[in-house]
Amino acid sequence: MKTTYLPKLARGEILGAVAISDPATSSAEEPPACAVVTDEAIRLRGTKRFVVGAVGAGLFIVYASTERGAHDRPPGRMLLAVPSTTPGLTVAPRDPLVGVRASGSAALEFDDCVVPTAMVIGQASEARRIGKELLASADLVVAAQAVGIGTAAMEKAVERARERETDETLVGSHQSVQFMIAEMQLQLNASRLFVQRAVDARSESDSAYQAAQAKAFAGRAAVETADRAIHILGGDGSLADHGIERHWRDAKTCELNPSTRESAQLLVARHLLEEVS
Amino acid sequence: MITLDLTEEERMIIEMVRDFSATELGGVAHEIDIEKRVPLEAIKKMQDLGLFGLLIPEEYGGSNVRAIASARVIEELSRVCAAVAITVSVHNAVGAFPIRMFGTEEQKKRFLPRLATDAIGAFCLSEADSGSDAASLKLRATRDGDAWVIDGTKLWVTNATLAGVFLVFVRSDPDPSLGHKGITALLVERDTPGLSVSKLEDKMGIRASDTAELAFDSVRVPVENQLGVEGEGFKVAMSALDNGRIGVGAQALGIARAAFGEALRYAVQRRQFGQPLADFEAIRLMLARMDTDIQAAALLVYRAASMKDAGLAYGPEASMAKLYASEMATRVAHAAVQIHGGYGYVKEYPVERYYRDARVTEIYEGTSEMQRIVIARSVLGKKRSRGSSS
C-alpha cells in the first residue's frame, strides 16, 4: 500500500482525503458508513459527511463501523484506504459551506463498494487509536490554519488603522481600535504558542489533549480576530472586495472542523478528569 | 504541562519553594488574609532561603536565577499565598532589580547585599492624582547642597511597613513642560527622618501584603542615593515595570492554578442529581475552558520570561503576559466560585480568597487598559496610539 500510494501522494499526483464524520442522524436514507467483512473482501455501505477535499481526491481514508457480529467479530471500527475510482463510490455535490468554500468538502456515498482486505490500515484493534490520532492531526492542522486566517485578518486591520483617516482622524488613533488590535496581537501570539506546544507534544501521551486545546483556543481566536477586523474596516469590512468577510467565514469553520469547539473542549475535560482520578 | 528548560539548580529552588509554601504558608494563608497580617516569621525564613536575592547577582550575595525560574517561584508561592508572593515579587522585580540595572558600582555594593538578605525593597511611583498617568507625578524634590529634600505623599506602596529601602520617583524639576523628563529616581532609607507610613489600606484581596500611603516631610536624601541620571527617573520606572509585569503575570497564573485545582477536586467529589458534578457536560466545558485559559497564560508568561533571559526586548510580551494572565485569573477564580456554588461564597473554602486576590492583578503594575495601549503601540507604532505619555 505504501509503495503504491505514498510516492503519488507525495508528488501530488493524487490527493488524499479523510472521511471521519458520520451523518448527524442515522436515518434509512443516510446511514453511517458500515463495513461488512468477509474473508475475501470488505463491502462498504452508507455515507460519510464533510469530507474535506473530497472533490478531486484520488484516495480516501475511510473510518468505518464494522457490522455487528459479522464473522463473529465484535462490532468495532475499521480504517480503509479507498480509491476514488472504486465502483459504487459516489462523491456527492459540493457542500455549501459557510467558509473554506474552495476546499471541495462533500459527502461520500458507498453503495456496496468492494474493497480488498489488503486496503485495511492497521489491525482492527488499532482502528480507534488511529482514528483518534487522525483527529489529533486534523486538530493541529486546523489550529495552524486558524492562526493563518487570523494573521491575514489582522494584517488588513492594522494596515487600515495605520493608513486610513476618517474625519481627519487616523483610524488607529481611536482607543477602541487600539484595544482591538491589542487583543488580536495577544490572542494570535497565544495561538502560535499553543500550536508550537502541540507540535512539540506530537509523540507525547497527551498529544490529543494538546492538539484539541490548541484548536479550541486558536479557532476562537481566529473568529474573534476576524470579527474585530471587520469592525476596524467598518462598512468596508462587510464587502467581499476587502477579503475580510471571507476570513471571517473561513475562521468560523475552524470552530467546526474537524469537530466542534465543544467536542474539542470535552476531549480536554476528559483528559483533565483522567489525570485527577 | 509545558516542560521548561530549567537547570538542576533552578529545579531545586522551585522544589524548595513548593515545600516551603506547603509547610509554612499553607496553614496560615487563610488566617493572615482575614487578619490582614503580614507573616513576618515566614518572610524571615524566605529571606534565609534566598528568595529575596533571586534577581541579585552572586557577587552581591544573590542567586541570580533566570527570569523564567523567578517567574516559576512567584507562581508556586501564589498557588498558596498570593499576598506573600507579591511581597517577594515587588522586592525582586521593582525594588532590587532597578538597582542592579541602573545603580553605580558603589550603590550596588551598598544596597544589593542588604536587599539579598535582610532589607526589603519597595517601589513608590503612584500618587493621589497620578496613577496610570505616572509621568504627571508631583512629589517634589528640591536640591539643597549635596542632598535632595522630598516633600509630599506616595500611594499604593507595597511593602511600605516592611521595607528597608524605598525606590522613590520624584519631580526634580518643577518645569511642567518637561513632563516625564522632570522625574528622578531616589533610593530612600527607611530610617530617614521625616519618612512615615501615613495610612494603611484595607484591601479587598492580597490582604496579608501591606499597602500604604507614605508621607515625606522634608526627607533629606544624599545625592549619592540618586539612581541613574537626574531627569531620567521615568526610564528607571518603566524598565522596572516591564520586569514586574512578568511577576504579576506569574502571580495571576499561580492563583488561577490554585482555583482550578480546587474546582476540579470539588467537581469530582460533589454529587448532585445522583452523579458527580464532573459528569455534567456544562461543568466539563467550564473545566476545559479554565484549563485552556490557564495554559494560554502560562505560555505567554514563560515566553516573556524566556525573551528577557535571551536578552531580547520583551516589553510588549510582558504586557501581553500580564494582561492575559490577570484577566484569566479573574475568569478562572470566578468559575471556581461558581462550581462550588454556595460553598464558594463562604470563607470555609479558599476559592473566594482566590477570587478576591486575582482581581488586583488586573490593576497594579499597570492596568489592563495601559497594557493594551503598550501592545497596540508595539503593533501600530508610537505616534498612532495616544493615551499615555510613557
Interface confidence (ipTM) of the complex = 0.91
Number of CB atoms found within 10 A of residue B383's CB? 10
* Per-residue confidence band for B383, with pLDDT thresholds at 50, 70 and 90: low
- Provide the CA A134 distance to its chain's centre, in angstroms: 10
Looking at CA atoms only, how far is residue A228 from chain B in angstroms? 14
With beta carbons under 8 A apart, name residues in chain A contacting B2.
197
Q: What is the pLDDT of residues B74-116, one digit of tens each?
A: 999 999 999 999 999 999 999 999 999 999 999 999 999 999 9
Phi, psi of A23 (to 5 degrees): -60, 150
Phi, psi of B168 (to 5 degrees): -115, 130
3-state percent breakdown (helix, strand, coil) of chain A, nearest 5: 55, 20, 25
What is residue A107's predicted lDDT score, i.e. its pLDDT?
Answer: 94
Q: What is the pLDDT of residues B329-357, one digit of tens each?
A: 999 999 999 999 999 999 999 999 999 99
| Element (DSSP H or E) covering residue A177 | helix A175-200
Mean pLDDT, rounded, for A70-90: 83
Q: What is the pLDDT of residues A156-203, one digit of tens each?
A: 999 999 999 988 899 999 999 999 999 999 999 999 999 999 999 999
What is residue B382's predicted lDDT score, i.e. its pLDDT?
Answer: 67
* Per-residue confidence band for A22, with pLDDT thresholds at 50, 70 and 90: confident
Number of CB atoms found within 10 A of residue B242's CB? 24
Phi, psi of B146 (to 5 degrees): -100, 30
> How far is Cα A247 from Cα B277, in angstroms, rounded to an integer?
38
> How far is Cα A244 from Cα A230, in angstroms, rounded to an integer?
6
SS3 A73: coil
With beta carbons under 8 A apart, name residues in chain A contacting B295.
194, 197, 213, 217
What is residue B182's predicted lDDT score, i.e. its pLDDT?
Answer: 97
Annotation marks residue B262 as catalytic = no
Mean pLDDT, rounded, for B202-230: 98
Residue B301: closest CA among chain A residues belongs to which residue? A190
Looking at CA atoms only, how far is residue B264 from chain A in angstroms? 8
Residue B386: closest CA among chain A residues belongs to which residue? A173
Mean pLDDT for chain A? 92
What is residue A34's predicted lDDT score, i.e. its pLDDT?
Answer: 84
Phi, psi of A209 (to 5 degrees): -60, -45
CB contact under 8 A, B324 and A186: yes
Nearest CA to B233 out of B188, B183, B172 is that of B183
* Per-residue confidence band for A94, with pLDDT thresholds at 50, 70 and 90: very high
Mean pLDDT, rounded, for A209-238: 96
**From the list B288, B373, B381, which residue is nearest A265 (CB)?**
B288
- Is the confidence at residue B388, as pLDDT, over 50? no
Mention every residue, 6+ apart, whose C-beta is less than 8 A from residue B133: B388, B389
Mean pLDDT, rounded, for B40-62: 97
Scanning chain B, the segments in alpha helix (DSSP H) are 8-20, 29-35, 40-48, 67-80, 82-89, 97-102, 105-117, 233-269, 281-309, 315-340, 351-359, 368-380
Mean pLDDT, rounded, for A138-150: 97
Q: What is the pLDDT of residues B145-165, one digit of tens each?
A: 999 999 999 999 999 999 999
- Is the confidence at residue B387, as pLDDT, over 70? no
Mean pLDDT, rounded, for B353-373: 98
Residue predicted with more confidence, B173 or A66: B173
> How far is Cα A121 from Cα A104, in angstroms, rounded to an integer?
25
Mean pLDDT, rounded, for B281-294: 98
* Per-residue confidence band for B372, with pLDDT thresholds at 50, 70 and 90: very high
* Per-residue confidence band for A35, with pLDDT thresholds at 50, 70 and 90: confident
Task: Name the pTM for this structure.
Answer: 0.94
C-alpha cell, B62? 544573590
- Is the confidence at residue A38, as pLDDT, over 90? no
Mean pLDDT, rounded, for B252-264: 98
With cell 485552556, the residue in question is: B292
CB contact under 8 A, B296 and A173: no
Mean pLDDT for chain B? 96
SS3 B157: strand
With beta carbons under 8 A apart, name residues in chain B contacting A268.
288, 291-292
What is residue A72's predicted lDDT score, i.e. its pLDDT?
Answer: 52
Mention every residue, 6+ apart, whose C-beta is less than 8 A from residue A176: none
A192 close to A147: Cβ distance less than 8 angstroms: yes
